[in-house]
Amino acid sequence: MIIALAQFNPIVGDVTGNAARTIEWMERAAEEGTDLIVFPELSVVGYSPHDLLDNTAFIDAVESAVRHIHAHVPEGMGAIIGAPMRNPDPVGKKLLNAALLLEAGQPVQMTAKMLLPTYDVYDEYRYFEPAERQEPLLFKGVRLGVHICEDMWNLEEYATYHMYDRNPVAELVKQGVDLLINLSASPYAHNRHDVRTGIITILCKRHGVPFLMINQVGANTELIFDGDSRVHAADGTLAACAPSFEEALIYWDTQAPESCRVPQHDRIADLHDALVLGIREYVDKTAVFDDVVIGLSGGIDSAVTAALAVEALGPNRVSGITMPSVHSSEGSVSDSEALARNLGIAFHELPIRAAVDAFENILKPLFAGTPFGIAEENIQARSRGVLLMAIANKFSRMVLTTGNKSELAMGYATLYGDMSGGLAVLADVFKMDVYALAHHINGRAASERIPSSTIEKPPSAELRPDQKDEDSLPPYPVLDDILRRYIEERQDEEVISAATGHDRSFIRSILDAVDRNEYKRKQAPPGLRVSVKGFGSGRRMPIVVRVNRAAIEQMMNELNEEAQA
């Protein structure tokens, strides 16, 4: 049997367009003599359609699209697609997250997802009823253990605690299957490729059957899907694999298995490719703006954002604006101009001194007798935001914000200033990784696309004389390590202090700053998610909250002393 894996890039909600492309891919596979083609999870609607699933007319359209696809399955071939389907049981959620086996002239065979994630960016139990039972699907005498995404992840080796009391893969294997097939919409995150490989290898060796995983590719709002589809032989070795971050149709012959060279993954290279894909997909799929505009400060963040945007959209769709103030260094303009020249993008200089002076004069009666401070500094950032948004409005462009995860975590950003825009490209990238991306971009191009002077200069917001980021923040290598432990690894103050050797009061000051600035992040534009825990829908923290870590520590110490007395 020849099986095709369709590493497919659907558009969320576009059921007619997704159905048409599904049919095109089936026809392509049929020309290659394919017996069975497999598409990713929810391939008819894209992942995730969220509250579109509450719309009755939308579900009617999904069912019509499924019937349309079924009517166009080539003779002698089968297709497995993913779609939300109505729950036939009157009790429970209205929908099932289903996999459908379609054959010309044959009734539809259906199985549904059993394990519904409700953590991080996932909220599937909001919409779907979990399958009570899964049974193998029969195709040309082959028993297919079809299951969906999370159903394969419930392994002791990859869970600190079990969220589910069922193991769908084990239950399918007990019923007798010849192949395990997983339909996924599994987003990219650092090292996700290695985790998938580890899980699938364990499952193959444990159950002694080949494993096929077909994963969505593309990006939808904050989520980026890397594809990474593959076939593992019964002993766990890689038999076929698709490239990451692009659509692909790969084939596997069950009777003539071949080995596939294990692809090499570099974390920064994958991060680069993920961000490029995320920018391109956000701009093109929303189809609101054709072009983007970026405020260029001469610093590393705006330079990397611009370089990524050019790779995603091409230089003709990217504009750079430098907006010097009285506190801007000479390099702020010259480095921005050099960057724009290297990238081949349109470039304009709009000094903001007149705007800042105008705002300060308007505010003078209210600010009289007070020292120059953050409020005055932020007038500069907000003046730039006004100019960028005016350009975006006038020429129908989207502003890309340039702030990184380290700054967003600490609130080292200005609301309605440098946080103004439509997409936060680096919102899930720590500062040190921004530098790594700059070196990767230059190395990949074998040229200095990002000027060395930009990479080498000390980072600064340039909102007051001789300002440096380290005036307000710890050194970025120290800060990023602590932030990663707290935000992504969910370590507490005591654990971070022990692991890093820093005093608990120092750790506490950083953690308190992260918590205190949640209100800013809630007003930020969507950010591309590239880590296991990014700001956005996957990190739902309250704005109105009070966590007094010092008081908690004192209380616990007192309790320990009482217990020992």
Query: What amino acid positions are annotated as catalytic residues?
Result: 41, 113, 149
Distance between CA atoms of residues 37 and 268, nearest Å: 33
Q: Apex CA 389: angle with CA 384 and CA 392, to 5°?
A: 130
Closest by CA to 455, choosing from 432, 478, 475, 482, is 432
**For 446, phi and psi rounded to 5 degrees?**
55, 35
- Token pair belonging to 396: 């129908």
Distance between CA atoms of residues 554 and 538, nearest Å: 31
Burial level of 415, CB count in 10 A (0-12/13-18/19+)? middle
- Residue 424's CB is within 10 A of a number of other CB atoms, namely 27
- Residue 488's CB is within 10 A of a number of other CB atoms, namely 18
Distance between CA atoms of residues 99 and 213, nearest Å: 13
Taking the CA atoms of the chain, what radius of gyration do you get in angstroms?
Answer: 26
SS3 51: helix
Q: Is-cis flag, bond preceding 48, omega within 30?
A: yes
- Token pair belonging to 274: 């993920």
Distance between CA atoms of residues 416 and 302, nearest Å: 17
Is there a contact between 499 and 485 (Cβ–Cβ < 8 Å)?
Answer: yes
Eight-class DSSP state of 262: P
